[in-house]
């Protein structure tokens, strides 16, 4: 089925709703193994909804159809010296998928990257959506201006809803100037605990750190500052002074370091299970220690100053069961475990209530969020 | 302002309801005498007043839960209230309601600098959140003009912004988690001390829901390290258009100041009379502030001044000292007060795409002629959030209505050029009846569906946000 417009999507979903036909919504198809397996009888592709409908560099805003490839958006922004603030991860390497990532998929999964620690997640830059709910009704929320509190913020609700509340057709973002330069301070030889302490002191210093990661295996700690050249040189030097007492520091200009963190490259060429765990940053090393006690063949990449752990484990290890009292959230990205489970009964009840309103027959990506 | 008919069944049971509330709260926390509840009859939108049936001032999440449980059982409408500084009538009572004020819940519960968060009770004022962490050089970023008085509860309800949100975002971007009491008394924890939660972004939809989904009693807020320094530059231009173009050029050049504030001539004149800030005689004045170390500030300001010079400013004054910086901001921060001194005014809050600034300012000028009411413009130019202040005389019959008509026309214009009705104040009762200019009924139905899930009986702040005709059927349940 080749859906070219929002109207096409609305009538397709409306028919499916009438027939009780469950749909799997697919954009570029690079993140299909995120979430639990869906129950579906048909596939709805958004790739026919393609194109940037409005881009105003002077207002820092862009509006695009949901099936637009991310690369097209990034190219358009780069031509004006701007970029998406949230540095979306590319999942192809980690999930072994192929295809072209589309912006709708990024919004549906609320995908962000290392810059999330400073610039926020996809949901923080998203300022407007249009979508088709499970009955085929077209709904808009938010708009194209960055400050907007008119009515409920369904924009946030749609970000990360994995298609379960509606099929996104159009998304609008606040964008930011791309920095003139980007520099990384590297500290070598730290343990996990030392590294998280170092990242914390970098993030609590007044130097505008917008990347703070640690790769356990190589004992490599990375701290990024971006902006105008003079400012970046100053801040990098200050950070080097601050962190010097902790270990050997060097300053490099190498964006590939951050692509490796963003896309979790250390786990690409492996067959291990991969988990994504979100906790308060200072709890990161404890979480890793608990898992290592169960099996010491575990690798960890820390991002967000320690608040995001990418954990590679031997197959079928039950990470969730190992962390029963964790104040945070564990999601399985690669492996046989249930990918996502609701946080608790009270929240699950609200979520079910919302799904029942937006998709009464449960035809949109059924079961994907657990 | 049309409000729903008071529920006589509830009013007739007032004594019984008071009695039940007195059993679960200290004596001083249940206010029900006619002359005493009058203190809660309005918020900062003083044009509308209505004393509530009862006001309660609980001190804990458990007490809030007990209050809501009783109100839910008795079918009593509840209007949550932070500090009552809403400009949109968000805390305006109905005569059959219980006002639930969180003012007594103002404690700091936990501060964690390593993980960069603070957990507070929701009645704590915005500025005192920063006050609790500034000895360690931290701050809480959202800074609404009412920050001295406004409560975090209201900030979360309205998703409040401020002058510095161009860089730091608004409340929703700085909120990590809440403890919220549902209308049936159930206490839910949403979000927490970590960044990404499981499941749907409930925190995102609770923030900005104007107290209609639940009563937030505690909030976990992101705190940030203070920058090394900050410095404003003041610029005067000989037309609004030129000032607008300058704003756009600064943003396009990749400089992202923490604030870009805009004041037009009527506003500058009023401010000068009042605050003696030393603003230049110009058609439009911009305050642009940058942050960082001394070197960084100089570097950024050099870039900004270079751009500004292309627009031939009539004045360009960089602050040379703390005192000068304070003087530059003093005028802007006194703007509302200065206007209030010379006249009654209504403060609008529409947002427009920055590119439409010259057109919108011109059209507002034309409307000002048409209605015969003066307007002063002061706003956050970097993000297009306008604050036209329409001056009127509250003692002159018909003037308020004329002013409201004028305001509605301005807000419709904001929507027409691609913007919205409210950027940071919220809908409340003030813009409730304009909602269908921005959204259609189906868009509003989707929002009201969310309320159905959280508050099936529509007891929480129900007469706000949505036009009464749109919510009639749901409220009747």
Q: What is the pLDDT of residue B379?
A: 86
B302 DSSP assignment: H
For residue A342, list chain B residues with Cβ-Cβ distance below 8 A.
198-199
pLDDT class of A30 with cuts at 50, 70, 90: very high
B116 to chain A nearest CA, in Å? 8
Angle at B258 between CA B254 and CA B259, to 5 degrees: 105
- A6-177+351-358: CATH class: alpha beta
**What gap in Å lies between CA A302 and CA A247, rounded to an integer?**
18
Backbone angles phi, psi at A162, to 5 degrees: 50, 35
What is the pTM for the complete model shown? 0.96
pLDDT digits (tens, 9 = 90+) for A299-319: 999 999 999 999 999 999 999
**What gap in Å lies between CA A90 and CA A71, rounded to an integer?**
11
* Among B169, B194, B465, beta carbon nearest to A328: B194
CB B275 within 8 A of CB B338: yes
Backbone angles phi, psi at B47, to 5 degrees: -65, -20
* Average pLDDT for A171-194: 96
For residue A110, list chain B residues with Cβ-Cβ distance below 8 A.
196, 201
Taking the CA atoms of residue B164, residue B168, residue B171 and residue B173 in that order, the dihedral angle to the nearest 10 degrees is 160
- A265-334: CATH class: alpha beta
Count the alpha carbons within 13 Å of A234 in the hemisphere toward its beta carbon. Answer: 17
Give A310's strand partners. A276, A301
* Average pLDDT for B378-392: 91
Determine, for residues A231 and B295 on separate chains, whether the beta-carbon distance falls below 8 Å. Answer: yes
pLDDT digits (tens, 9 = 90+) for B73-126: 999 999 999 999 999 999 999 999 999 999 999 999 999 999 999 999 999 999
* Among B165, B190, B227, beta carbon nearest to A147: B165
- What ipTM describes this predicted complex? 0.97
* Average pLDDT for A97-106: 97
* Average pLDDT for A285-292: 96
Q: Which residue of B has its CA nearest to A328?
A: B194
Tell which residue, A334, A297, A344, A359, has the closest CA to residue A34. A334
Sign of CA dihedral A306, A312, A313, A316: positive
Residue extent(s) of CATH 3.30.465.10 domains in chain A? 6-177+351-358
**What gap in Å lies between CA B80 and CA B464, rounded to an integer?**
12
B297 to chain A nearest CA, in Å? 9
pLDDT digits (tens, 9 = 90+) for B146-197: 899 999 999 999 999 988 888 899 999 999 999 999 999 999 999 999 998 8
Is residue B390 classed as helix, strand or coil in its secondary structure? strand
Token readout for A202 is 């970098």
Tokens 């159009």 identify what position? A170
**Mean of per-residue pLDDT scores for chain B:** 94
Determine, for residues B161 and A329 on separate chains, whether the beta-carbon distance falls below 8 Å. Answer: no
* Among B117, B200, B427, beta carbon nearest to A161: B200
Domains of chain B as residue ranges with CATH: 8-103 (3.30.43.10), 108-225 (3.30.465.10), 230-324 (3.30.70.3450), 343-416 (3.30.70.2740), 439-477 (no CATH)
pLDDT digits (tens, 9 = 90+) for B340-380: 888 899 999 999 998 888 889 999 999 999 999 999 998 88
Tell which residue, B425, B407, B389, B468, has the closest CA to residue A150. B425
- CA distances from residue A154 to A161, A208, B89, B428 in whole angstroms, order as listed: 11, 30, 22, 17
pLDDT digits (tens, 9 = 90+) for A229-267: 999 999 999 999 999 999 999 999 999 999 999 999 999
**What gap in Å lies between CA A211 and CA A220, rounded to an integer?**
13
Is residue A56 classed as helix, strand or coil in its secondary structure? strand
Tell which residue, B398, B344, B343, B342, has the closest CA to residue B371. B398
Burial degree of A72 (CB within 10 A; 0-12, 13-18, 19+): middle
Tell which residue, B142, B128, B146, has the closest CA to residue B207. B142
Tell which residue, B257, B379, A196, has the closest CA to residue B249. B257
A43 to chain B nearest CA, in Å? 23
Cβ density class A238-252: b for 16+ within 10 Å, e for less: bbbebbeebbebebe
* Cβ contacts of B33 within 8 Å, gap of 6 or more: none
Does A121 have pLDDT greater than 70?
yes
pLDDT class of B477 with cuts at 50, 70, 90: low
CB B124 within 8 A of CB B152: yes
Percent of the residues in chain B that have a pLDDT greater than 90, as a whole number: 81
CB B53 within 8 A of CB B98: yes
Determine, for residues A149 and B115 on separate chains, whether the beta-carbon distance falls below 8 Å. Answer: no
Determine, for residues A139 and B443 on separate chains, whether the beta-carbon distance falls below 8 Å. Answer: yes
For chain B, what's the residue count?
477
Residue extent(s) of CATH 3.30.70.100 domains in chain A? 181-262, 265-334
Does B476 have pLDDT greater than 80?
no
The side-by-side arrangement of strands in the sheet containing B175-181 is: B108-112, B117-121, B215-222, B175-181, B187-191
* Among A152, A234, A282, beta carbon nearest to B450: A152
**What gap in Å lies between CA A311 and CA A328, rounded to an integer?**
15
* Average pLDDT for B451-469: 97
CB B459 within 8 A of CB B181: no
A59 to chain B nearest CA, in Å? 5
**What gap in Å lies between CA A33 and CA B439, rounded to an integer?**
35
Q: What is the pLDDT of residue B164?
A: 85
CATH number of this structure's domain A181-262, picked from the four choices 2.60.40.10, 3.30.70.100, 3.30.460.80, 3.40.710.10 = 3.30.70.100
């Amino acid at each position: 089925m080749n859906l070219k417009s929002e109207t096409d999507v609305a009538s397709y979903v409306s028919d499916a709703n009438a027939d009780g036909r469950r749909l799997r919504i697919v954009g570029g198809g690079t993140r299909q193994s995120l979430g639990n397996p869906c129950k579906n009888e048909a596939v709805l592709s958004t790739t026919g909804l393609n194109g940037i409908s409005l881009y105003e560099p002077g207002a820092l805003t862009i509006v695009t159809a949901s099936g637009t490839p991310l690369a097209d958006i990034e190219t358009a922004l780069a031509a004006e010296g701007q970029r998406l603030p949230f540095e979306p991860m590319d999942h192809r390497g980690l999930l072994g998928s192929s295809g072209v990532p589309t912006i709708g998929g990024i919004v549906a999964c609320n995908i962000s990257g290392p810059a999330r620690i400073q610039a926020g997640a996809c949901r923080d830059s998203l300022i407007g959506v249009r979508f088709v709910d499970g009955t085929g009704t077209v709904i808009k929320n938010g708009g194209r201006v960055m400050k907007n509190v008119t009515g409920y913020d369904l924009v946030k609700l749609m970000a990360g809803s994995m298609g379960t509340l509606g099929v996104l057709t159009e998304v609008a973002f606040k964008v930011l100037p791309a920095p003139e330069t980007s520099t990384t301070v590297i500290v070598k030889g730290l343990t996990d605990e030392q590294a998280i302490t170092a990242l914390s002191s970098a993030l609590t210093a007044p130097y505008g750190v917008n990347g703070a990661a640690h790769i356990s295996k190589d004992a490599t700690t990375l701290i990024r500052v971006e902006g105008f050249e003079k400012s970046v040189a100053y801040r990098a030097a200050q950070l080097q002074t601050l962190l010097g007492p902790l270990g050997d520091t060097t300053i490099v200009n190498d964006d590939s370091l951050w692509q490796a963190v963003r896309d979790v490259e250390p786990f690409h060429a492996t067959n291990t299970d991969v988990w994504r765990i979100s906790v308060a940053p200072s709890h990161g090393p404890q979480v890793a220690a608990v898992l290592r006690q169960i099996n010491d063949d575990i690798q960890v990449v820390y991002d967000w100053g320690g608040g995001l752990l990418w954990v590679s484990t031997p197959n079928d290890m039950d990470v969730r069961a190992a962390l029963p009292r964790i104040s945070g959230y564990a999601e399985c990205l690669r492996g046989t475990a249930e990918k996502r489970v609701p946080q608790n009964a009270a929240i699950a009840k609200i979520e079910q209530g919302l799904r029942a309103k937006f998709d009464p027959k449960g035809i949109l990506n059924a079961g994907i969020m657990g | 302002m049309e409000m729903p008919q008071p529920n006589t069944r509830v009013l007739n049971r007032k004594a019984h309801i008071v009695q039940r509330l007195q059993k679960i709260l200290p004596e001083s926390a249940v206010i029900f005498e006619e002359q005493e509840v009058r203190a809660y009859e309005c918020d900062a939108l003083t044009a509308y007043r209505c004393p509530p049936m009862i006001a309660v001032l609980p001190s804990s999440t458990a007490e809030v839960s007990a209050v809501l449980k009783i109100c839910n059982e008795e079918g009593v409408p509840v209007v949550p209230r932070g500090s009552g500084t809403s400009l949109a009538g968000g805390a305006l009572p109905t005569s059959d309601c219980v006002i639930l004020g969180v003012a007594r819940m103002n404690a700091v519960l936990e501060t964690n600098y390593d993980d960069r968060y603070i957990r507070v009770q929701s009645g704590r004022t915005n500025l005192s959140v920063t006050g609790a962490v500034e000895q360690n050089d931290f701050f809480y970023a959202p800074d609404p003009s009412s920050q001295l008085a406004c409560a975090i509860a209201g900030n979360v309800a309205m998703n409040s912004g401020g002058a510095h949100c161009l860089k730091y975002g608004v409340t929703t971007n700085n909120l990590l988690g809440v403890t919220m009491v549902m209308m049936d008394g159930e206490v839910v924890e949403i979000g927490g001390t970590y960044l990404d939660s499981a499941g749907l972004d409930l925190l995102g939809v609770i923030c900005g829901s104007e107290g209609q989904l639940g009563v937030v009693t505690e909030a976990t807020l992101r705190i940030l390290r203070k920058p090394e320094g900050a410095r404003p530059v003041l610029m005067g231009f000989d037309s609004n258009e030129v000032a607008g173009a300058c704003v756009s050029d600064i943003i396009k050049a990749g400089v992202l100041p923490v604030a870009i504030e805009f004041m037009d001539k009527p506003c500058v004149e009023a401010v000068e009379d009042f605050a003696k800030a030393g603003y230049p005689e110009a058609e439009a004045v911009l305050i642009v502030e940058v942050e960082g170390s001394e070197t960084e500030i100089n570097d950024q300001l050099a870039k900004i001044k270079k751009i500004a010079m292309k627009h031939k400013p009539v004045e360009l004054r960089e602050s040379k000292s703390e005192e000068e910086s304070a003087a530059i901001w003093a005028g802007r921060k006194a703007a509302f007060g200065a206007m209030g001194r010379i006249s009654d005014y209504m403060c609008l809050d529409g947002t427009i795409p920055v590119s439409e600034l010259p057109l919108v300012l011109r059209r507002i000028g034309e409307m000002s002629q048409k209605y015969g009411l003066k307007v002063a413009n002061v706003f956050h130019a970097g993000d297009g959030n306008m604050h036209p202040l329409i001056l009127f005389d509250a003692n002159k019959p018909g003037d308020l209505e004329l002013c409201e008509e004028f305001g509605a026309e301005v807000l419709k214009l904001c929507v027409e050029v691609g913007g919205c009705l409210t950027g940071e104040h919220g809908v409340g009762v003030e813009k409730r009846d304009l909602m269908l200019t921005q959204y259609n009924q189906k868009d509003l139905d989707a929002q009201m569906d969310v309320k159905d899930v959280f508050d099936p009986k529509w007891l929480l702040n129900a007469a706000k946000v949505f036009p009464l005709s749109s919510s009639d059927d749901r409220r009747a349940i």
